[in-house]
Amino acid sequence: MRIAIVDDIASERLRLRGCLEAQLARRMLYADIFEYENGGDFLAAARGKHFTLAFLDIYMEIENGVETARKLREFDSECLLVFVTASVDHALDGFRVRAMQYLVKPFRETEVDALLDEVVKRVPAADQYIDLHSVSGPVRLRLHEILYAEHFQHQVHIYTVSGQTIVVRQTFAEFASGLGDSRFLLCSRGSLVNLEHAEDFDGSVFLLDNGRPVPVSRSLAATARQAFADFLFQRRHS
């Protein structure tokens, strides 16, 4: 996720950023957070690369949040908008630019918590991560980056989209349970695949988007076929 905080008061940006980072860490969600002190700088950045979520302070001196939102909607209809304000007098304006929520100052961290719950529902591909203790040191790995993993010589070898192999010393069961995500499917007693990167399944082998085949044990073939079909259906209808 890419999140923007647009507020001309640095202390307000810092406070909101702190709340967001705490709640994202609690959910083990990865996000890049960017701060902007005016709408113009934010819009220039948004034209270059899409933001998943933007917090816009309504009462800014140079360009208020409502006007910034209107300009954003001219070229981005998908970014989730949250107005940060001292009142909800601009509720109608928020409706017109399809703002998902208001945060009324001074907001509580519990309100940010509830808001992120709603964001996660609307962004099913929200990027989670897992902290690992690899043989070469601590690693924070985004789940999307995992292609597949297998147990080999008392270690788990994790193969990533970048071509890197991360090796951790733990049981395969411990590693698999730590992922806690339905996109990962058990292929055998010692291997799993990330269905995000599966392009095809022929009944015995998953073909990944990097061309790598991942075999599936005969006992799990029927389960794998159904799980892959369910995953594709959910992705097409999300």
Do 156 and 189 belong together in one domain? yes
Give the per-residue pLDDT at 104.
85
Do 218 and 162 belong together in one domain? yes
pLDDT in tens, 84-99: 887 666 554 545 566 7
Q: How many domains does the chain have?
A: 2
**Mean pLDDT along residues 192-206:** 94
Domain-located, residue 164: yes
Instruction: Give dist(CA 99, CA 5) in Å, integer.
Output: 15
- Residue 230: its H or E element: helix 221-236
Q: Distance of CA 194 to CAs 11, 103, 183, 229, 237, Å?
A: 41, 36, 6, 14, 19
Give the per-residue pLDDT at 95.
52
Do 114 and 185 belong together in one domain? no
pLDDT in tens, 129-174: 888 999 999 998 888 899 999 998 889 999 999 999 999 999 999 9
- Residue 182: its H or E element: none
Contact between 134 and 141 (Cβ < 8 Å): no
Domain-located, residue 128: no
Give the per-residue pLDDT at 238.
56
Domain-located, residue 169: yes
Query: Domain span at residue 74?
Result: 2-122
Do 96 and 9 belong together in one domain? yes
pLDDT in tens, 27-67: 888 889 999 999 999 999 999 999 999 999 988 877 788 89
> The tokens 């999140």 sit on which residue?
3
